[in-house]
Structure 1
Amino acid sequence: MLPTGLGKTIIALLAIARRLQEYQGSVIILSPTKPLVEQHATFLKTVMNLPPEEIIVLTGSISPQKRSSMVKDARIIVSTPQVVENDLRAGRIDLSDIVHITFDEAHRAVGNYAYVYVARQYQLQCKDPLILGITASPGSNSDKIEEVCSNLFVSKVQVRTETDPDVKPYIHYRELEWRHIKVPVEIGGLKRSMELVLENRMHQLAEMGFVDPARKYLNKREMLNLQAQLQGRLSRGPDQRIYKAISLVAELFKVDHAIEIAGTQGPEALAKYFDRLEHEASSRSGSKASRRLMDDVNMRHAIYSLKEMDISHPKLEVVKEIVSDQLLENPESRVIVFTNYRDTSELVTDRLKEVDNIRPVRFVGQASKYKDTGLTQKQQVDILNEFKSGKYNTLVATSVAEEGLDIPATDLVLFFEPVPSEIRSIQRKGRTGRKHAGKVVVLVAKGTKDEAYYWSSRRKENTMNDKMRQFKSPALSSTGGNPETNFIEDDVAVEDAPDTSGTTTPQKQLLDYSSSQIQIYVDRREIRSGVAQALEAAGDKVIYSTLNVGDYIVSDKVAIERKTDMDLLDSIIDKNRNLFRQLSDLAKAYDRPVLIIEGDNLYTGRQIHPNAIRGVLSSIATDFGIPIINSKDEVDTAAFIHIMAKREQEDKKRSISLHGSKTSMTLKEQQEYIVSAISNIGPTTAIKLLRHFGSVENIISADIESLLEVDSVGPKTAQYIIDVVKTEYKG
């Protein structure tokens, strides 16, 4: 753990060189984004005393067969983790001869991120593994830091902060200014109209007995908790009061977000949000919460007042002033302005264009959203190159520029608003002060959520530094000598790499029922699911294939369709559902089809009468003759599949084979099928996504911020979509 710009890549270089000197195998360096991968590869080819063809970059654009041949002759492999994960799952890469792996931006090694799987397989396959994780911002939560260390099998931790005596001399001064901005009274009037809406919804919830009558507002955490409690109460049976309460909470979320935009972003950004909300309310897939809000007299008053308003948020003028002053002082400066919202990035760019000495350019993600087209990857690369060359001197960026953007000449970083995440805050600040002194300015709108995020950010960064010191390993303080190596040009010295020979391999997650390996065919759409990972962890041979029917095939007679409770409920709501066609195809193709329904919210996840759900289940069991198994979670599902595979292959000595075909679908149904195939997305949500973005292509290129604008898409679902579409295709 080392502050940004102090040579984490150099440390990785030293570890790589030492391992290559001592062993005959290869090394891998993994980085989360393609620009970082290219950056590392270029650097390594410059400093390593190796033929350029022995330092390779693996990407999804290279065919799987070619990747396999490239790896055989490579000494250094630079890749995104998804490519390596996919090749591991397909059996195209073997880690037994990999003598070292560096995990760049190691704080990402949590949950189901590809780092976790690659590290686990490395530990299992390699006799003498050595892992190095590098990061500037591991987080302020002890549990998360411990999870990263556990997932990467890290037993020794080296930490440096900017105040450590052996680091401080090399730190470039970075001035930090928090500038507090007074919000105009007109914006306060807008907020008051919307606060009346909040108070009305809170009053209704209080009358129903779900909130304390003395409470006027709930913060986001409290709203999430209330939402979860209401969903839990539905498990006792359908209750129209609870359904209404859940819808009221949805309204609270939307109004709370509007109030935040008004205070922190300004009237123009709020107008864009209202435009999207009205569009959602008028669409066929729009929620009742959106329609009720747009019909509310106080919301209509806020919208009318907004249209009559002729003011901007004062932050816009402050940004213009700060950037202009910087460029007047040093015309060769480079400036980055960070904004949380794409709408604001457009407003800031337009405002900066009004000043002669400012040459701004907007830098956003690839997703296209309602009335806003994203950038292609080529456009992003071109913009960065033009920013470096000086065609543009100011980059107005969203979160896409927080990580991996290495522009040494950045003199000023300006936050349009604070960010409550200590990781994101550190990544943003790290864009300046890398090669020389720099300045960071954070704008805080008084009396808004900016102030809460201001205190949260400062507290979390201080907490993170304290936690990092607690994780220091005394064993790393005393290192060996500095033997020379023939792998780094100019006789760069290398310190001893940490010894991880005592690291133990992880325990299997499922019972090991037999000595022989069970084979299970898994549909490629399930490649990132926890089910497939649990089966692999149990020692089953998972073979990924594009299955005509079913999700898991365990013999020539038994095929399994897996549905989460939300998937099944969405298929009931959607008039164009394809559930029965899927199950019909499954029953025609296999003698023993099985449906597994995963999750505990079958009767509480949607506002559907229990009898409707029972009717669907009855039809599946009686009309199609398909037995239904309920599982608790992904691990429980994997356990059922494992046992079925064992019975079929070991007890009954049946072979495993693929057969069957699907009934042809219309183009519209195929589009819905493609989107609904992503985990946590049912047909209803798929239709909402398609109506919002207009095409499958636009959904695939969407970023998290854009996805979250779609009703029924929360942070977890948005991340699932990003994981699926950003994973390199493996052939």
Structure 2
Amino acid sequence: MFIEHPLIKPKTLEARLYQQIIAANALKKKTLCVLSTGLGKTAIAILVIAGILTKKDGKVLILAPSRPLVEQHYNRLKQVLNIDEDKIIALTGKIQPKKRAELYKKGKIFIATPQVIENDIIAGRINVDEFILLIADEAHHTTGDHAYAFVAKKFKDKCHILGLTASPGSDIDKVMEICENLGIEHVEVRTEDDEDVKPYIAKVKLIPIRIDLPNEFKRALKLINEALKERLKILKDAGVINSIADVTKTELIELNNKLFSYDEEVKYELIKVCSEALKLMHAKELLESQGKSVFLNYINKLSMQRTKSAKSIVNDEKVREAVNLLMKSDVEHPKLGKVVDMVKNILEKNKDERIIIFAQYRDTVEKIVNLLTQNGIKAIRFIGQANKEGKGMSQKEQIEAIERFKKEGSVLVSTSVSEEGIDIPSVNYIIFYEPVPSEIRFIQRRGRAMRGEGGKVYVLIAKGTADEAYYRSALYKEREMKRLLKNMCYLLNKRLQKKFEEKSKEEIKEETEEIKEKEIESKTAVKEETKEEEEKTKKPVTILDFIKQIEVKERSKSEEDKIKQEIKIPKKPIKIIVDVREKNMAKLLHNYANIELKTLEVGDYVLSDRVVVERKTAEDFVNSIIDKRLFSQLKNLKKVEKPLLIVEGENFSRLHENALKGAILSIILDFGIPIIFTKNAEETADLLIKIAEKEQIKEKRTVMVRYGKTAMSLKEQQKFIVESLPDVGGALAERLLKHFKTVENVFTAKEEELMKVEGVGKERAKKIREVLTAEYEG
């Protein structure tokens, strides 16, 4: 059976009762839908879209966490929805901002990554008021500072909401945060244990495969462990940890943060030692779970770092011995050989079988793909987009990889990018190259097999390593999440109900107070009107008086409408160019200024044609002094006329007080750059707004990048030339050009002619003429 609906094409959407029930409830209230992988979250989204658009006209936005998933939703909606295909639009960062602004006017249904929508909200390219439905796919991302959360908060009070996820996590407070950010009023949960979904669930068998490490690895790991224990002993002797045994990476990260607040001088050495211990733990895990190549690449990266902790590890005798031992050996991680053998065995039984292999690191993905290819197996690489090292796949390459895998590939070797939502049908075999401790990622990975006929999930575990702990952790968290999910509907809906009841009480109280205030105002107004009427009755009302009364009412009504329009679209008189890496600050600024996101060569914020600001958190300020980055950045900042450095926060504890004072004095005296300290991001934002207002409103200066490749317009060039005259700022330059029409006329004007322009007195006119007529003494 198929769904029959005027907005859904015939025989394109299977009719499943549980999906229709969830969609019906989701149309009544803002809903979070928790549904096991393979149960058709997209189908529910389509049913809700059709339901909403049947009731009212407006636009729909679907958020998806990755570009391939955006493309997948786009193709599915075109296939199923009975809506003009031109009205269904996929938006990505590859589309120029101006083009996106035009598309928002033309389209009806938009599918985009949250980062694209976040940018367009900040830059004012999208009108949130035009949307009647927001669908957040993979809604578990709607927490913290994620772009999902920012977009959700902007939309939740404006339109209907549907959140979709297979794995919201095992922490009910985290789930409540998701609900809060999305404005959720109701939760729908279905697991594979529910009777109405059992017929549609594919059975998946989880099979751990434990592997012994080779002797060369064991000897190298012993040396790294000895180096690690030396660091942990220093921390124990200092009294900052209780025991050397069983110290976790999480505990060391927490300790490192605590050490910054210590007052004793010894803290600097302890921070260094703690950092070394963390790096050694990471190196150890890489060798245990990934193999020789990934481990050696990491040590090589440390050798290129300037920090004391990195140098200490690279120069450590035991670490060097471990590196030399592995470099001389031709033994690789036994997981690699095991993967090849498993794939061969599966394909021997069925040459048309499809297999997905998940690996944490891109280097490992490359290694597996190469090994499989060497063994005559068609393996397709699938990784995320380019990172700071330049490696990665473009959106087009990602989509092509999925299509090739569907049509001709045997094996897809992927990082975490394909864990979420990517529609890869009939996959019956999944191989985890390593376990992941996150229950969400564990479920997402395993869920790829639940989309087919059901199958097997193999998890490769190196015996006696962190792999064992991560596997146990993921299973425990998944059990906890399932337990939570069983009670989630009741618990969450109860909490949400309580929250909305409290909110309603507050609203009723506010409304009551407002009514009382209005009653008092109304009584006062009635008294005044009565008094006016009594005065009017003293003299007869003429036809002319009557016409005037009508004109006044009409005029006041039109003025009210004008005020309403102005309130609806508040004007932002200033503009700030913000570096794309300063997204969080752009979020704070966009309510008060027009924001243009741009990759800036110098500084973080352009506030006018002469003021450029570099912003650093206290931690980054300290780190940039230590690694010498700061002074090369300041040298660059000197390219602008009026540079400014803002340091935000108060945690300078990593650097000695004398070194900090020396750096500040050097910035002010040697570089001639003013430095301002702020307590937090809000105070920084307030300061940036005030400087921008002074420059743009009071000084009438334009906002532009004066350096780099961007050329000035003719108008800007003319103004720039006139501003070079003595005592002539942006506002006066504009008045001079308006009066004299051309730069040439300004430069040839006599003193008395210059004095006709507002702001030019006798002394200023004399200075201008002196500069223009005095002979140059070379």
Structure 2: stretches of 5+ with no match in the other structure: 1-33, 495-502, 508-566, 710-778
Aligned mate of 2:488, from 448, 463, 471 = 471
Deviation at 1:557, TM superposition (A): 10
Match of residue 249 from structure 2 = 220
Post-superposition shift, 1:373? Answer: 5.1
Task: Say if 2:149 is the partner of 1:116.
Answer: yes
Amino acid at match of 1:84: I
Match of 2:397 in 1: 379
Inter-CA distance 91–83: structure 2 relative to 1 (3 Å threshold): same
Tell me the residue number matched to 1:248. 273
Flag the 1:222–1:364 CA change in 2: closer, same or farther, 3 A: same
* Closer/same/farther in 2, CA of residues 60 and 526 from structure 1, 3 Å limit: closer
**Partner of residue 540 from structure 1, selected from 564, 580, 592:** 592
Residues 564, 598 of structure 1: 8 Å contact kept: yes
Find the counterpart in structure 1 of residue 66 from structure 2: 33
Other-structure match for 2:380: 361
- Give the gaps of 5 or more residues in structure 1: 478-500, 506-514, 666-731
Answering whether residue 639 of structure 2 is matched by residue 600 of structure 1, we say no
Q: Which amino acid aligns with 2:140?
A: H
In structure 2, what is the Cα distance between the partners aligned to 1:304 and 1:556?
56
Q: Pick from 438, 446, 471: which aligns with 2:463?
A: 446
Conservation of the 8 A alpha-carbon contact between 2:603 and 2:613: yes
Write the letter of the residue equivalent to 2:148: Y
**Given the alignment, which residue of 415, 420, 428 partners 1:398?**
415
* AA in 2 matched with 1:57: A
- In structure 2, the CA distance between the partners of 1:13 and 1:585, relative to structure 1 (3 Å rule), is same
Instruction: Tell me which moved more, 342-351 or 129-138.
Output: 342-351
CA contact (8 A) 1:138 1:423 kept: yes
- Superposed displacement of residue 368, structure 1: 7.0
Q: From 236, 250, 273, give the equivalent of 2:295.
A: 273
- CA shift in 2, pair 1:166/1:475, >3 Å: farther
CA shift at 1:448, angstroms?
A: 0.8
Does the CA-based 8 Å contact 1:582-1:662 persist in structure 2? no
Q: Which residue of 1 aligns with 2:472?
A: 455
Once the two structures are TM-superposed, the CA of residue 420 in structure 1 deviates from its matched residue by: 0.3
1:263 CA displacement? 2.5
Provide the residue aligned with 2:684 in structure 1.
637
Say whether 1:166 aligns with 2:196. yes
CA distance in 1, matches of 2:329, 2:662: 54
Question: How high is the TM-score relative to the length of structure 2?
Answer: 0.70
Matching of residue 67 in structure 1 with residue 105 in structure 2: no
Is contact 2:203–2:450 with CA below 8 Å preserved after alignment? yes
Say whether 1:107 aligns with 2:124.
Answer: no
Quick one: structure 1 residues 577 and 637, their matched pair in 2 at CA, closer, same or farther if it must change by over 3 Å?
same
Which range is displaced more, 409-418 or 630-639?
Answer: 630-639
Of residues 521-530 and 316-325 in structure 1, the stretch that sits farther from structure 2 once superposed is: 521-530
Name the CA distance, whole Å, in 1 between partners of 2:580 and 2:276: 34
Match of 1:654 in 2: 698
Matched, 1:301 2:321: yes
Q: What is residue 183 of structure 1 aligned with on the other side?
A: 213
8 Å contact kept, 1:548–1:661: no
Moved more, 329-338 or 59-68: 59-68
SS in 1 for 2:459: strand
Question: Contact (CA 8 Å) 2:580, 2:597: kept in 1 or not?
Answer: no
Between Structure 1 and Structure 2, which shows a larger proportion of helix residues?
Answer: 2
SS at match of 1:232: coil
Match of 2:534 in 1: none
How far apart, CA to CA, are the structure 1 residues paired with 2:107 and 2:584?
32
Shift in alpha-carbon separation, 1:90–1:171, aligned structure 2, 3 A = same
SS of the residue corresponding to residue 489 of structure 2 reads coil
CA deviation digits over 1:504-536, x for unaligned, max 9? 99xxxxxxxxx9866443322167543332344
Are positions 1:329 and 2:376 aligned together?
A: no
CA shift for structure 1 position 101: 1.2
**Matching of residue 563 in structure 1 with residue 616 in structure 2:** yes
The alpha carbon displacement at 1:453 in A equals 0.4
Distance 1:325 1:210, change over 3 A: same
The answer to whether residue 261 in structure 2 is matched with residue 232 in structure 1 is yes
Alpha-carbon contact 2:575-2:594 (below 8 Å) kept: yes
Q: Provide the residue aligned with 1:82 in structure 2.
A: 115
SS at match of 1:524: strand
Question: SS in structure 2 opposite 1:70?
Answer: helix
Amino acid at match of 2:61: I
- Give the share of equivalent positions with the same residue, in percent: 38
Within the candidate set 662, 665, 674, 1:615 is matched to: 662
Quick one: higher RCO (CA 8 Å, sep 6+), 1 or 2? 1
Is contact 1:520-1:553 (8 Å) kept? no
C-alpha distance in 2 between matches for 1:612 and 1:662: 33
Whether contact under 8 Å (2:574, 2:697) holds in the other structure is no
Cα distance in 1 for residues equivalent to 2:452 and 2:122: 41
For 2:385 and 2:583, the matched residues in 1 are separated by 25
Partner of 1:336: helix, strand, or coil?
strand
Deviations 1:432-455 (A, max 9, x none): 121322221112222111110011
What amino acid is aligned across from residue 525 of structure 1 in structure 2?
D
**TM-score normalised according to structure 1 size:** 0.74
Distance 1:385 1:17, change over 3 A: same
Return the alpha-carbon distance in structure 2 between the equivalents of residues 398 and 67 of structure 1. Answer: 30
Match of 1:259 in 2: 284
* More deviation, 178-187/96-105: 178-187
Aligned-partner residue type, residue 176 of structure 1:
L
The structure-2 alpha-carbon separation of the partners of 1:295 and 1:624, relative to structure 1 and needing over 3 Å to count, comes to closer
Higher mean alpha-carbon deviation, 141-150 vs 39-48, is at: 141-150
CA distance in 1, matches of 2:431, 2:129: 46
Further displaced range: 550-559 or 24-33: 550-559
Partner SS state of residue 189, structure 2: coil
